[in-house]
């Protein structure tokens, strides 16, 4: 029997406990429980929600919460502690200690376990009453991105953790400037947020899977053009493909208020599409519809589904958004079908030379039917970009130019095709034309405010042009829009932290990437460098041995020669960490 799959992720974990709870209960049980409930209702729970967190569980007077962003976790804790004494009606007064750690957690249904959780729990009692205690990786990760300054608490041994933990503390009374209230951000993910799950293929033919997937992807693309709606990226929505899931759980995991699900049945020249919009808080249907149409009416059905969702959610569209939604890629159903087939190869989990060759064949055939089809040109540009990075074809050295040629044609055919702008930005970054890369990514975000890929492009530009601190929040934003597809972003986020000198954070992030992509050589090279800088020489060498077992031919110098770093100093910083560990080649 196969081993059960362990679901892990990198998370900021917040542990909170009430100071002197046993004494308070001994003096007044009823009053203490009422005060605790009131504190949770008017202070703690709203702060968690406002900072995009999730309460994992309540343990007596203690609370465990998780966040996708360490900055959100720290800002939440500060907001709680600054507001803790604001409720003058509370008697007795509820005072918390809070501990925060950033680390790997194991997810089991709605619960979380692992060292990331254990360390947070051990940090909490080390905080001053009314204060916060964080691990060094949290302190390093937030840097100057929060409005408080922590005091160095030195290293300490904690129960059941086999290494000393360096701690940092903050208390509202530590500095006068820290007592000013921090503006409480509005939740970015709320009722005006949606995930489109992959529509079920009901055609009775597994080979039609690409078609039902394509319908889902195009609805995601259309909804993403609406600035008043937060839309989870395709990669994250499709992580639920083939799984029987509770849509309320999907809502919690992706942080959305609504989920669209449906099915597609294609038979000859007829297509039946069903769709239902579901409230993730209640599991109730807001809207449901079935469309039985000729295949030639497919694009009208997609438009209808999008407009029904907009109407149901009461979202006002700007004139520019209405115009973008009305834009059509092609009127040729056969060309559209070929584009979907090619795109399916590029979106698949396993990308290889055979898939690349099949994809460019499909895109070329689509262009024979409709030479003005922008998305088919984008597909070719995207495919050649993959070829340039992976060296699949004998002509891969020329693939960057072929990618540029095709994406330029795509923009010429349709200047409002957002994904063409994304691919153009990516190509320009590898050409070290950072000015064009920035311009194309900015245009992509205007056309598609929910594009995780566009935020990733902006982050790449900052990373490779020598501004790693600017790259970090951009990568985090991309991960927020695409929470289930984080492995590549984690690699780049780890590299950004290393280049910014945040070696401990880099190591934590890169270890998580390796958990998600166990065969990665590139992330192991960066992790070995971070560990070298930290002086963890034995561990760096162990990681390097793993790298060489995975890819005996790996060469740091050859690999990095193909990366678009503007500054040699950045490559030298990575090489220096490897040299400290004695593993550079």
The DSSP-derived string for 121-141 is HHHGGGSPTT-EEEEHHHHHH
Give the other-Cβ count within 10 Å of 70's Cβ.
Answer: 28
If asked whether residues 208 and 283 sit together in one domain, one would say: yes
DSSP state of 89: T
What does the pLDDT average to over 524-547?
Answer: 95
Higher pLDDT, 248 or 366: 366
pLDDT in tens, 499-515: 999 999 999 899 888 87
33 and 170 assigned to the same domain: yes
Average confidence (pLDDT) over 289-296: 83
The predicted-structure confidence for 408-463, as pLDDT tens digits, reads as follows 999 999 999 999 999 999 999 999 999 999 999 999 999 999 899 999 999 999 99
Q: Which of 174-178, 221-225, 421-425 has the lowest mean pLDDT?
A: 174-178
Give me the percent of the chain exceeding a pLDDT of 90.
39
Query: Residue 533 and residue 47: Cα distance in Å, rounded?
Result: 37
How far apart, in whole angstroms, are the C-alpha atoms of residue 207 and residue 204?
9
Q: Tell me the pLDDT band of 348, cut-offs 50, 70 and 90.
A: low
- Residues 130, 229: one domain? no
Domain identity same for 15 and 164: yes
pLDDT band (50, 70, 90) for residue 27: confident
* Vertex 485: Cα angle to 360 and 491 (nearest 5): 95
Helix and strand numbers (H, E) in the chain are 25, 14
Is there a single domain that holds both residue 175 and residue 197?
A: no
* Within a domain: 292: yes
- Containing domain of residue 518, as a range? 486-585
CATH number, position 496 = 1.25.40.10
Last residue of some domain: 150, 179, 208?
Answer: 179
Residues 6+ apart with CB under 8 A from 493: 471, 472, 475, 476, 479, 509
Q: Is 533 among the domain residues? A: yes
The three-state secondary structure class of 7 is strand
Cβ–Cβ < 8 Å for 421, 412: no
Asked if 290 and 200 sit in the same domain, the reply is yes
Res. 88: pLDDT tops 60: no
Q: Looking at the domain assignment, is residue 174 inside a domain?
A: yes
CB atoms < 10 A from the CB of 217, how many? 21
Q: pTM score, two decimals?
A: 0.77
Together in a domain, 19 and 168: yes
Q: Where do runs of H (alpha helix) occur along 289-417?
A: 298-312, 319-326, 333-347, 353-369, 374-390, 399-413
pLDDT band at 180 (very low <50, low <70, confident <90, very high): very low
8 Å CB contact between 487 and 516 = yes
pLDDT of residue 307: 84
The Cα 119–Cα 15 span in angstroms is: 9
- Asked whether residue 236 carries a pLDDT value surpassing 90, the answer given is no
- Residue 316: φ, ψ to 5°: -85, 130
Q: What is the CATH number of the domain that holds 320?
A: 3.40.50.10610
**pLDDT higher for 469 or 347?**
469
pLDDT of 525 over the 80 cut: yes
Same domain, 164 and 16: yes
The answer to the question of residue 564 being in a domain is: yes
Output 426 or 396, whichever has higher pLDDT: 426
Are both 171 and 52 inside the same structural domain?
yes
Quick: pLDDT tens for 275-286: 898 888 888 888
For residue 185, pLDDT beyond 50: no
Residues 160, 198, single domain; the answer is no
Kindly report, residue by residue over 123-165, the tens digit of the pLDDT: 999 999 999 999 999 999 898 888 889 998 888 887 767 778 8
Are 268 and 305 members of one domain?
yes
- Asked whether the predicted pLDDT for residue 174 surpasses 80, the reply is no
User: Is residue 168 domain-resident?
Assistant: yes
The answer on 154 and 80 residing in a single domain is: yes
Q: How confident is the model at residue 301 (pLDDT cuts 50, 70, 90)?
A: confident
- Quick: pLDDT tens for 318-329: 777 777 776 667
Of 297, 326, 355, which residue constitutes the final position of a domain?
326
How much helix, strand and coil, in percent to the nearest 5, is found in the chain? Answer: 55, 15, 30
pLDDT digits (tens, 9 = 90+) for 93-103: 889 999 999 98
- Residue 262 pLDDT class (50, 70, 90 cuts): confident
Closest CA to 304 of 319, 326, 324, 285: 326
Angle of helix 487-499 relative to helix 503-516, nearest 10 degrees, comes to: 160
In a domain, 128, yes or no: yes
331 in a domain, yes or no? no
Query: What integer best gives the mean pLDDT of the chain?
Result: 86
The last residue of a domain, from among 326, 352, 373:
326
What CATH number did the domain enclosing 114 receive?
Answer: 3.30.70.1230
- Report pLDDT for 328: 63
Residue 183: predicted pLDDT: 39
- What gap in Å lies between CA 221 and CA 406, rounded to an integer? 21
Mean pLDDT of 57-69: 88
Torsion of CA 363, 365, 370, 375, to 10 degrees: -10
The residues, ordered by sequence, that sit 6+ positions from 405 with a Cβ below 8 Å of its Cβ are: 381
- Would residue 458 count as lying in a domain? no
For helices 374-390 and 333-347, angle between their N-to-C axes, nearest 10 degrees:
20
pLDDT > 90? residue 209: no
Tell me how many domains the chain contains.
3
Question: Residue 421's pLDDT is what?
Answer: 97
Query: Are 270 and 262 in contact, with CB atoms under 8 Å apart?
Result: no
Find out whether 138 and 100 touch, Cβ atoms under 8 Å: yes
Higher pLDDT, 301 or 370: 370
């Amino acid at each position: 029997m196969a081993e059960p799959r362990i679901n892990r992720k990198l998370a900021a974990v917040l542990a909170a406990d009430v100071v002197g709870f046993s004494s308070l209960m001994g003096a007044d049980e009823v009053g203490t429980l009422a005060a605790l409930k009131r504190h949770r209702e008017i202070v703690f729970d709203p702060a968690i929600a406002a900072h995009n967190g999730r309460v994992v569980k309540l343990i007596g007077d203690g609370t465990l919460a998780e966040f996708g962003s360490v900055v959100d976790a720290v800002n939440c804790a500060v907001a709680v502690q600054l507001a803790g004494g604001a409720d003058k009606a509370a008697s007795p007064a509820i005072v918390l200690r809070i501990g925060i750690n950033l680390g790997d957690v194991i997810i089991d249904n709605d619960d979380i376990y692992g060292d990331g959780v254990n360390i947070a729990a051990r940090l909490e009692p080390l905080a001053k009453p009314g204060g916060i205690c964080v691990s060094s990786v949290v302190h390093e990760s937030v840097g100057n991105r929060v409005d408080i300054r922590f005091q160095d608490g030195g290293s300490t041994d904690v129960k059941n953790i086999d290494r000393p933990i360096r701690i940092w503390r903050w208390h509202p009374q530590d500095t006068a400037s820290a007592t000013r209230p921090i503006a409480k951000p509005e939740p970015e993910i709320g009722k005006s947020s949606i995930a489109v799950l992959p529509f079920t293929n009901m055609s009775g033919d597994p080979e039609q899977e690409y078609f039902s997937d394509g319908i889902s992807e195009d609805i995601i693309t259309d909804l993403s053009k609406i600035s008043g709606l937060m839309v989870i990226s395709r990669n994250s929505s499709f992580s639920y493909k083939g799984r029987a899931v509770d849509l309320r759980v999907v809502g919690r995991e992706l942080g959305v208020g609504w989920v669209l699900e449906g099915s597609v049945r294609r038979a000859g020249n007829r297509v039946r599409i069903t769709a239902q919009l579901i409230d993730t808080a209640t599991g109730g249907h807001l809207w449901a519809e079935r469309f039985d149409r000729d295949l030639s009416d497919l694009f009208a059905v997609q438009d209808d589904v999008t407009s029904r969702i907009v109407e149901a959610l009461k979202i006002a569209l700007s004139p520019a958004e209405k115009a973008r939604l009305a834009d059509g890629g092609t009127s040729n159903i056969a060309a559209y079908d070929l584009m979907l087939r090619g795109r399916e190869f590029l979106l698949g989990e396993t990308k290889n030379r055979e898939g690349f060759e099949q994809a460019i064949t499909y895109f070329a055939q689509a262009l024979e039917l409709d030479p003005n089809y922008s998305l088919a040109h984008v597909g070719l540009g995207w495919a050649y970009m993959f070829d340039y990075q992976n060296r699949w074809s004998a002509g891969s050295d020329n693939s960057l130019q072929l990618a540029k040629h095709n994406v330029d044609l795509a923009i010429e055919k349709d200047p409002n095709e957002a994904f063409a702008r994304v691919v153009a930005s990516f190509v320009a970054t590898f050409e070290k034309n950072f000015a064009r890369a920035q311009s194309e990514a900015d245009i992509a975000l205007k056309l598609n405010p929910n594009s995780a890929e566009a935020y990733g492009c902006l982050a790449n530009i900052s990373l490779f042009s020598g501004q790693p601190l600017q790259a970090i929040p951009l990568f985090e934003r991309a991960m927020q829009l695409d929470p289930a597809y984080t492995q590549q972003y984690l690699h780049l986020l780890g590299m950004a932290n290393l280049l910014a000198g945040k070696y401990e954070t880099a190591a934590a992030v890169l270890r998580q990437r390796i958990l998600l992509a166990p065969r990665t050589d590139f992330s192991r090279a960066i992790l070995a460098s971070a560990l070298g800088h930290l002086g963890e020489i034995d561990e760096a060498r162990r990681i390097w041995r793993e790298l060489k077992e995975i890819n005996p031919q790996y060469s740091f110098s050859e690999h990095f020669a193909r990366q678009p770093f503007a500054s040699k100093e950045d490559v030298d910083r990575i090489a220096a960490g490897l040299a400290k560990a004695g593993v550079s080649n």
